[in-house]
Amino acid sequence: MSHEHSYTIEEVAQLLKVSKLTIYDLVKKGDLPIFRVGRQMRVDRTDLQLYIQKSKTGVTPASSTAMTTPSTKTKKVIISGQDLALDLLGKYIEKKQSNKVLRSHEGSFNGVMALYNGECDIASLHLYDGDTGDYNTPYLKKIFVSHSYILLNLVSRRAGFYVQKGNPLQIQSMEDFKTKSLKLMNREKGSGARTFLDEQLRMHHISPSSIEGYNEEEMSHIDVASAVANGHADIGIGIEKISKLIEVDFIPLIKERYDIVLLKTPENHLLIESVKEILNSPEFQSEIDALGDYDVTKMGQVIYETL
């Protein structure tokens, strides 16, 4: 363990043999107190032992006060996704509702499934459907068959290829996978970038097995771009903004819609209204626009909503 008397969220998940999202859910409900060291959340060893003891007996030991302190009663909101715009959204939610916002950096599909399972409150997604050319809605209609939900646009942004500086292999499109020997650095299954690539390969009749590196995965746009920049791959899939942070060139392929989805429940009514108000506020839109490489034209629009 990295600290003698406390654990990271990942370490707690390993000790209890559950997923990180399960631990975030315990934190959100106030069942497991946390403290922060910089931006990292940590769990005190004593608090973890008390939680385990309470789970076994159903009774909190009399010596425990951590479980009943006012700070653990504050409602926590978990936002799933990796984009910088979500960090800013979280700050605005904290100011508006006095909620504590936690971040779970899952890919699109895993984030949606976490929402489905009650393990987060807001899931971001950019899942491309090749048959319709649409983003997100076709997937949610199949996943949330028996759920009421609302899909709101956060931003639009360009997705495409990362290539090495100067584009020495003259990569321009998906067709280059057919005519050139390219080593790919891929994203993990369920991420929006991976879904887009797989749909494009299907539409262009390109077999994944023909691509060197197809099964090599990284967990973020930054990691993919870094692999290309370091010469570990010739090409990677990701969003434009990261190419400005890492020494790679960017080949745009599509303007994607990056949305957020929330379940419509009585408990979520105030959160949904707050998020709508934030997304439609000139102040928030201006801050996102200032980050660069985002289109906020549709921000706050209801893309789809069940009755």
pLDDT in tens, 69-116: 444 456 799 999 999 999 999 999 999 988 899 999 999 999 999 999
Look-up of token digits 């003259």? 170
**Is residue 5 pLDDT above 80, yes or no?**
no
Give the model's confidence band at 254: pLDDT under 50 very low, under 70 low, under 90 confident, else very high: very high
Distance from C-alpha of 305 to C-alpha of 307, rounded to nearest angstrom: 7
Whether the pLDDT of residue 289 is over 50: the answer is yes
Q: Return the pLDDT at 114.
A: 95
Average the pLDDT over each of 37-46, 269-278, 283-292 and give the range with the smallest value.
37-46
Q: How far is 108 from 126, CA to CA, in rounded Å?
A: 6
**pTM across the whole model:** 0.77
Q: Where are the alpha helices (DSSP H) in the chain?
A: 9-16, 20-29, 45-57, 70-73, 84-97, 108-116, 137-143, 176-179, 192-203, 221-229, 240-243, 269-279, 282-291
Give pLDDT, residue 80.
96
Q: According to the model, what pLDDT value does residue 1 have?
A: 38
The band of 27, judged by pLDDT with boundaries at 50, 70 and 90, is confident
Q: What is the mean pLDDT of residues 237-252?
A: 96
| Higher pLDDT pick, 252 / 54 | 252
Q: Residue 63 pLDDT > 50, yes or no?
A: no
Tokens at 286, concatenated: 């201006």
Q: 201 pLDDT exceeds 80? A: yes
- Of 23-27, 139-143, 263-267, 271-275, the range with the lowest mean pLDDT is 23-27
Q: Is pLDDT at 4 greater than 70 in this prediction?
A: no
Mean per-residue pLDDT over the chain, rounded: 90
Q: Would you state the pLDDT for residue 211?
A: 98
CB 275 within 8 A of CB 140: no
| pLDDT band of 42, cuts 50, 70, 90 | confident
183 three-class SS: strand
3: pLDDT strictly greater than 50: no
pLDDT at 39: 62
Cβ atoms of 138 and 280 closer than 8 Å: no
**Angle subtended at Cα 119 by Cα 115 and Cα 125, rounded to the nearest 5 degrees:** 35
Contact by Cβ (8 Å): 181, 213: no
Q: What is the pLDDT of residue 2?
A: 41
Phi-psi region of 85 (alpha: psi -120 to 50; beta: other; left: phi over 0): alpha
Residue 254 parent element (H or E): strand 249-263
